[in-house]
């Protein structure tokens, strides 16, 4: 039987570089007084892309949507799933804890609505850090820990960056909110990786099945209930849920075929 512990390989050195870069950027923007001008510039430039693009990207950073994206990997990549689940738990504590602790005002509470473009609900408080950015960074970092393909890693990082940019484009977060979300999400994914390797019960079939049932229920709910604040995103949300359900159904079908084949082989040997 394959030793699943080998799937938790050693951490590569490059994985620690993004948090360092993000920390330096946060410090430079904060102490350089660049927060407001950088926010306004990025918000105005991104307005040219159109609201639909940014709504779609920000939907990809929604916590429930990202959870459903993980559904096809349940029991197929148990180490990845378990590490991701632990990462999300840590990220939830990180984001909610800091938001409630310091309650940084959002751009709409500081600037005039006439000065920048706002998409969606006019949120005014709990700006720091960006939860969407944290979730996106966690997803990207965890997949980078388990998949070595450079093109996939680059794609994941680019999509995460665009999700973060969408929060500025929609007028909901300062740039430092997004960078802090990236910093927390990426760092906590690194922290969760060795913890997941130690807590082996998370990769067991029983635990994976429980996780799968929860994610399955979330995917079914997403087919009928708009989880986001944007009506334009409902079709995308439904497409993601349906795609995850179809891929999962395909996995289950292959498992049943494999189990059936193994049973037939065993009976054949007995006869």
Check residue 262 and give its pLDDT: 56
Give the model confidence (pLDDT) of 72-114 as tens digits. Answer: 999 999 999 999 999 999 999 999 999 999 999 999 999 999 9
The mean of the pLDDT values for the chain is 93
Instruction: Give residue-wise pLDDT tens across range 175-209.
Output: 999 999 999 999 999 999 999 999 999 999 999 99
The answer to whether the beta carbons of residues 45 and 179 sit under 8 Å apart is: no
- CA–CA dist 196, 218 (Å, integer): 23
Output the pTM of the full model: 0.91
Average pLDDT score over residue span 13-38? 97
pLDDT digits (tens, 9 = 90+) for 123-147: 999 999 999 999 999 999 999 999 9
User: What's the rounded mean pLDDT across residues 54-81?
Assistant: 96
% of the chain beyond a pLDDT of 90: 85
- Those residues whose C-beta lies under 8 Å from the C-beta of residue 109, and which sit 6 or more positions away, are 124, 125
Q: How far, rounded to the nearest angstrom, does the alpha carbon of residue 1 sit from its chain's CA centroid?
A: 32
CA distance from start to end of the chain: 25
Contacts of 212 (CB under 8 A, 6+ apart): 71, 74, 75, 248
Query: What is the rounded CA–CA span in Å between residue 62 and residue 135?
Result: 7
Q: Look at residue 59 in the predicted model and tell me its pLDDT.
A: 96
């Amino acid at each position: 039987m394959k030793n699943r512990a080998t799937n938790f390989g050693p951490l590569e050195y490059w994985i620690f570089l993004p948090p360092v870069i993000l920390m330096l950027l946060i410090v430079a923007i904060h102490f350089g007084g660049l927060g407001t001008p950088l926010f306004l510039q990025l918000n105005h430039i991104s307005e040219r892309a159109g609201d639909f693009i940014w709504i779609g990207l920000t939907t990809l950073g929604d916590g429930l949507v990202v959870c459903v994206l993980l559904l096809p990997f349940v029991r197929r990549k148990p180490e990845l799933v378990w590490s991701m689940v632990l990462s999300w738990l840590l990220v939830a504590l990180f984001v909610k804890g800091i938001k409630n602790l310091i309650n940084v005002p959002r751009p709409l509470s500081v600037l005039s609505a006439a000065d920048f473009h706002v998409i969606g609900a006019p949120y005014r408080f709990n700006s720091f850090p960006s939860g969407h950015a944290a979730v996106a960074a966690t997803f990207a970092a965890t997949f980078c820990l388990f998949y070595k393909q450079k093109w996939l890693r680059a794609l994941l990082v680019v999509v995460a960056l665009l999700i973060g940019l969408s929060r500025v484009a929609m007028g909901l977060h300062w740039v430092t909110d997004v960078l802090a979300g990236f910093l927390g999400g990426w760092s906590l994914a690194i922290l969760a990786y060795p913890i997941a390797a130690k807590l082996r019960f998370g990769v067991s079939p029983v635990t994976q099945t429980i996780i799968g049932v929860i994610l399955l229920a979330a995917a079914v709910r997403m087919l009928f209930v708009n989880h986001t604040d944007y009506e334009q995103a409902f079709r995308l949300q439904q497409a993601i849920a349906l795609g995850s359900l179809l891929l999962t159904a395909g996995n289950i079908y292959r498992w049943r075929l494999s189990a059936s084949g193994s049973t037939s082989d065993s009976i054949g040997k007995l006869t």
